[in-house]
């Protein structure tokens, strides 16, 4: 499951975004029980910063990779306290699940 972190770091490098926060959530007991079948849903909290085009690229690549991804929550906010602080930068916060093998 640690390979997922490299997956996110590669997305960051490929899209020119900046990962602000990346945390793995605990695996629910029911998913741990299903691990015997070979796969579990692994939850992540991800916050990434970039301009609109780069964030869209990040989302598109996240959805089109060979790993199965389900976005549970998403929010976008303007970065900084005023629009002139970071011209055109946005912060995207995602709650998502990736299908993985333990």
pTM of the model: 0.78
In this prediction, residue 83 carries a pLDDT of: 58
Range of weakest confidence among 15-24, 59-68, 76-85:
76-85
Q: What is the mean pLDDT of residues 32-48?
A: 78
To the nearest whole number, what is the mean pLDDT of the chain? 83
48-76 in b/e form (b: 16+ CB < 10 A) is bbbbeebbebbbeebeeeeeebeeeeeee
């Amino acid at each position: 499951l640690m390979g997922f972190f490299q997956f996110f770091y590669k997305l960051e490098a490929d899209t020119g975004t900046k990962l602000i926060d990346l945390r793995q959530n605990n695996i629910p007991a029911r998913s741990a029980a299903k691990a015997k079948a070979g796969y579990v849903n692994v939850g992540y909290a991800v916050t990434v910063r970039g301009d609109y085009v780069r964030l869209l690229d990040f989302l598109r690549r996240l959805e089109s990779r060979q790993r199965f991804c389900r976005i549970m929550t998403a929010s976008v906010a303007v970065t900084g306290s005023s629009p002139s602080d970071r011209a055109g930068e946005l912060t995207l916060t995602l709650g998502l699940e990736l299908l993985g093998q333990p």
